[in-house]
Structure 1
Amino acid sequence: MSAKIYRPAKTAMQSGKAKTQFWILEFDAEHARTIDPMMGYTSSADTRQQVRLTFDTAEQAVAYAQTNGIEYRVIAPKEPTRKNVSYSDNFRFTRSQPWTH
Structure 2
Amino acid sequence: MQKARIYQRPKNAMQSGKFRTDRWQLDFEPAEPKQADPLTGWAGSGDTREQLRLGFPTCEAAIAYAEREGLPYTVIPTPTKTLKLQSYADNFR
Pairwise same-fold verdict (TM > 0.5): yes
Give the RMSD, CA atoms, in angstroms: 1.1
C-alpha separation in 1, matches of 2:55 and 2:88 = 39
Q: Using the TM superposition, give the Cα deviation of residue 86 of structure 1 relative to its aligned residue in structure 2, in angstroms.
A: 0.8
Match of 2:21 in 1: 20
- Structure 1 counterpart SS, 2:80: coil
Match of 1:89 in 2: 90
C-alpha separation in 2, matches of 1:90 and 1:39 = 50
Match of 1:60 in 2: 61
Percent identity of equivalent pairs: 47
| Deviation larger for 32-41 or 64-73 | 32-41
Task: Check if 1:6 corresponds to 2:13.
Answer: no
Q: Using the TM superposition, give the Cα deviation of residue 89 of structure 1 relative to its aligned residue in structure 2, in angstroms.
A: 2.5
**Can you list the C-alpha shifts for 1:70-99, whole angstroms capped at 9, x where unaligned?**
0000000012111221112223xxx2xxxx
What amino acid does structure 2 have at the position aligned with 1:87? Y
Aligned residues: 92
| Deviation larger for 56-65 or 75-84 | 75-84
Match of 1:78 in 2: 79
After the TM superposition, which parts of structure 1 deviate over 3 Å for at least 4 consecutive aligned residues? none
C-alpha separation in 2, matches of 1:13 and 1:43 = 27
- Structure 2 counterpart SS, 1:31: coil
Structure 1: where are the runs of 5+ without partners? 96-101
Length-normalised TM-score, structure 2: 0.91
Q: Using the TM superposition, give the Cα deviation of residue 21 of structure 1 relative to its aligned residue in structure 2, in angstroms.
A: 0.9
